[in-house]
């Protein structure tokens, strides 16, 4: 498709967009009485309007029923997490048995690594992406130390080649092969938070398994953003948060995936809790942990119903829009943004905006700025854009197919032009 950086063209794209109605399902922060250009759904997704009512339902049941809400609430809290099985499964390409909403992302990564990072003999190494999200770096570092190993000798980082931004697929696969029987675990982000690169998860999984390693992914920037087929790809485990592309609210309940092949695995170590036992025997409080089937066995605590109430409506919206429809729109929306940025760079000699996100990408584009990039960012912010700045000189923007429009992208370009004008 040939794009045009004009108001009429953006309007036309919006008219053709089957998902345009979903924009009205969300609250937008305001700037001078109008919706801000909200391009930080990769950091905190917008609030679905339905969240209020969903939350109110649980608050009302709590007020009315107290402890009896566990069984008598409209959506009984005892089994609340079971409401998510099919929608989560669809979002990450899994079987319902393989997914569970629980806890927080980083804590889930720890619990999963307790089970799936089992260094033994010479097989101790852990492969991850360089410049991983800091929380993941700390989790990996402390897991390694927990086993009495030295992080500097045990953690192997993947880096782009000199002068490149993305990490090449062949370099990842070669490194896995090279580590061979020393490799215990591959633990990479599905989408890198800084560059926006989507990693070849299927091929990484295959390569990891070929050398006998376990393969897990942090899907914080992938869930709700790119096509995932965790079951089919044979991924061992994965974890994600729900407040980025899944729009479930700040710090809302996270989610995990454990492949069904590990479902009945008796020798797996784990740090267990009562919600990980089969639901029928849970209140008998018997001695000795018996794991529930599937990923539920990793649950520890009873369901955080208030945050799950929001998660539920947010996932419903995702399914109503359709996972594949969202991805199709995402490709068009992000391509249009790339086009608008290129048009600006071509027309305005004063601006150097380089998209550093490789072509394997989801919604997000990371824009390398030169010179006074921070001034431009601050000016854009004053004019109603919500994007984010990553030191030393990158602006991250993610138009989200669920609620962003092509007009948002056009207006974003206009605001950049205006900002540059005002900064002269
Ligand atoms: C957002 C994000 C986190 C945040 O972790 P929390 O435990 O939810 O605070 C961790 N890792 C990655 C890769 C992220 O993008």
Return the CATH number at 153. 3.40.640.10
Best mutation site among 112, 241, 245, 366 for ligand 1 pocket (most ligand atoms within 8 Å of CB): 241
pLDDT for 325 equals 97
Task: Write down how long the chain is.
Answer: 424
**18 and 100 share one domain:** no
Q: How far is CA 88 from CA 91, 297, 318, 325, in A?
A: 5, 17, 10, 16
8 A C-beta contact, residue 385 and residue 37:
yes
Q: 175 lies in a domain?
A: yes
- Residue 121 region, left (φ>0) first, then alpha (ψ -120 to 50), else beta? left
Separation of alpha carbons 231 and 93, rounded Å: 6
CATH number of 376's domain: 3.90.1150.10
How far apart are the CA of 401 and the centre of ligand 1, in A?
21
My answer on whether omega of the bond before 312 falls inside 30° of 0, hence cis, is: no
pLDDT for 352 equals 80
**127 and 161 share one domain:** yes
Best mutation site among 105, 107, 113 for ligand 1 pocket (most ligand atoms within 8 Å of CB): 105
Q: How far is CA 253 from CA 38, 49, 174, 223, in A?
A: 23, 18, 36, 13
8 A C-beta contact, residue 195 and residue 165:
yes
**193 and 308 share one domain:** yes
- Residue 205 region, left (φ>0) first, then alpha (ψ -120 to 50), else beta? alpha
**29 and 113 share one domain:** no
- Kindly tell me the sign of the dihedral angle through the C-alpha atoms of 362, 363, 369, 373: negative
**314 and 405 share one domain:** no
Q: 85 lies in a domain?
A: yes
How far apart are the CA of 106 and the centre of ligand 1, in A?
6
**210 and 184 share one domain:** yes
8 A C-beta contact, residue 310 and residue 248:
yes
| Residue entry with tokens 């960012």 | 377
How far apart are the CA of 61 and the centre of ligand 1, in A?
32
Q: 46 lies in a domain?
A: no
Pocket of ligand 1 (CB under 6 A): 104-106, 133, 135-136, 189, 193, 218, 220-221, 241
- Identify the DSSP state of 78: G
What domain range is 195 assigned to? 53-321
Give the rounded distance of the alpha carbon of 95 from its chain centre. Answer: 19
Q: 72 lies in a domain?
A: yes
- The protein residue whose alpha carbon is closest to atom 14 in ligand 1 is 220
Per-position pLDDT tens, the chain of length 424 = 899 999 999 999 999 999 999 999 999 999 999 999 999 999 999 999 999 999 999 999 999 999 999 999 999 999 999 999 999 999 999 999 999 999 999 999 999 999 999 999 999 999 999 988 899 999 999 999 999 999 999 999 999 999 998 999 999 999 999 999 999 999 999 999 999 999 999 999 999 999 999 999 999 999 999 999 999 999 999 999 999 999 999 999 999 999 999 987 777 899 999 999 988 877 777 888 889 999 999 999 999 999 999 999 999 999 999 999 999 999 999 999 999 999 998 888 777 888 999 999 999 999 998 877 899 999 999 999 999 998 888 999 999 999 999 999 999 999 999 998 888 7
Q: 41 lies in a domain?
A: no
Could you identify the atom of ligand 1 that is nearest to the CA of residue 189?
13
Q: 44 lies in a domain?
A: no
**86 and 188 share one domain:** yes
How far apart are the CA of 302 and the centre of ligand 1, in A?
22
- The protein residue whose alpha carbon is closest to atom 2 in ligand 1 is 220
**315 and 334 share one domain:** no
pLDDT for 283 equals 73
Per-position b or e across 383-416, b if 16+ CB within 10 A of its CB: bbbbbbbeeeebbbbbbbbbbbbbbbbbbbbbbb
Q: Mark which of 264, 298, 321 sits at the end of a domain.
A: 321
pLDDT for 378 equals 95
**360 and 224 share one domain:** no
Enumerate residues 6+ apart whose C-beta is below 8 A from 349. Answer: none
Alpha helices in 180-252 (DSSP H): 201-210, 230-233
**183 and 315 share one domain:** yes
**236 and 367 share one domain:** no
Q: Count CB atoms within 10 A of the CB of residue 212.
A: 11
Q: How many domains does the chain have?
A: 2
Could you identify the atom of ligand 1 that is nearest to the CA of residue 193?
15
**144 and 248 share one domain:** yes
Q: How many helices (H) and strands (E) does the chain have?
A: 14, 17
Bridge-partner residues for 397, per DSSP? 365
Q: Mark which of 262, 296, 321 sits at the end of a domain.
A: 321
Best mutation site among 130, 135, 398 for ligand 1 pocket (most ligand atoms within 8 Å of CB): 135
Best mutation site among 104, 106, 250 for ligand 1 pocket (most ligand atoms within 8 Å of CB): 106
pLDDT for 394 equals 92
pLDDT for 351 equals 73
Q: 42 lies in a domain?
A: no
Alpha helices in 101-200 (DSSP H): 105-116, 134-146, 151-154, 169-179
Q: Count CB atoms within 10 A of the CB of residue 250.
A: 10
Q: Mark which of 321, 340, 368 sits at the end of a domain.
A: 321
Enumerate residues 6+ apart whose C-beta is below 8 A from 182. Answer: 122, 123, 124, 125
Q: 45 lies in a domain?
A: no
Separation of alpha carbons 41 and 401, rounded Å: 10
């Amino acid at each position: 498709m040939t794009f045009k950086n004009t108001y009429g063209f953006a309007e036309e794209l919006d008219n053709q967009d089957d998902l345009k109605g979903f924009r009205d399902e969300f609250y937008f922060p305001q700037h001078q009485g109008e919706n801000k250009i909200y391009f930080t759904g990769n950091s905190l997704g917008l609030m679905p309007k339905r969240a209020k009512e969903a939350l109110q339902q649980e608050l009302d049941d709590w007020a009315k029923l107290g402890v009896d809400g566990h069984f008598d609430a409209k959506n009984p809290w005892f089994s609340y997490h079971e409401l998510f099985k099919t929608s989560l499964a669809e979002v990450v390409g899994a079987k319902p048995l393989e997914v569970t909403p629980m806890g927080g992302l980083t804590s889930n990564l720890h619990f999963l690594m307790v089970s799936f990072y089992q260094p033994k003999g010479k097989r101790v190494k852990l492969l991850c992406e360089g410049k991983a999200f800091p929380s993941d770096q700390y989790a990996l570092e402390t897991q390694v130390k927990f086993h009495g190993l030295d992080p500097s000798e045990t953690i192997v980082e993947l880096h782009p080649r000199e002068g490149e931004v993305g990490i090449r697929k062949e370099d990842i696969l070669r490194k896995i092969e090279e580590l061979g029987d020393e490799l215990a675990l591959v633990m990479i982000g599905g989408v890198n938070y800084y560059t926006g690169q989507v990693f070849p998860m299927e091929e990484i999984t295959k390569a990891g398994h070929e050398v006998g390693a376990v393969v897990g992914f942090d899907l914080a920037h992938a869930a709700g953003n790119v096509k995932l087929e965790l079951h089919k790809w044979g991924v061992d485990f994965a974890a994600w948060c729900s407040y980025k592309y899944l729009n479930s609210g700040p710090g809302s309940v996270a989610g995990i995936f454990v492949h069904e092949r590990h479902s009945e695995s008796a020798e797996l170590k784990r740090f267990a809790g009562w919600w990980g036992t089969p639901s029928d025997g849970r209140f008998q409080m018997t001695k000795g942990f018996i794991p529930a089937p599937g990923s539920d066995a990793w649950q520890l605590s009873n369901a955080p119903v208030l945050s799950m109430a929001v998660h539920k409506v947010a996932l419903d919206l995702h399914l109503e829009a359709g996972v594949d429809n969202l991805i199709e729109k995402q490709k068009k929306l992000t391509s249009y943004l790339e086009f608008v940025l290129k048009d600006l760079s071509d027309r305005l000699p004063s601006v150097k905006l380089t998209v550093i996100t490789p072509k394997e990408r989801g919604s997000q584009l990371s824009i390398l700025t030169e010179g006074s990039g921070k001034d431009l960012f601050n000016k854009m912010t004053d004019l109603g854009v919500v994007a984010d700045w990553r030191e030393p000189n990158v602006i991250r923007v993610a138009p989200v197919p669920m609620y962003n429009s092509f007009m948002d992208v056009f207006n974003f370009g206009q605001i950049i032009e205006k900002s540059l004008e005002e900064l002269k």
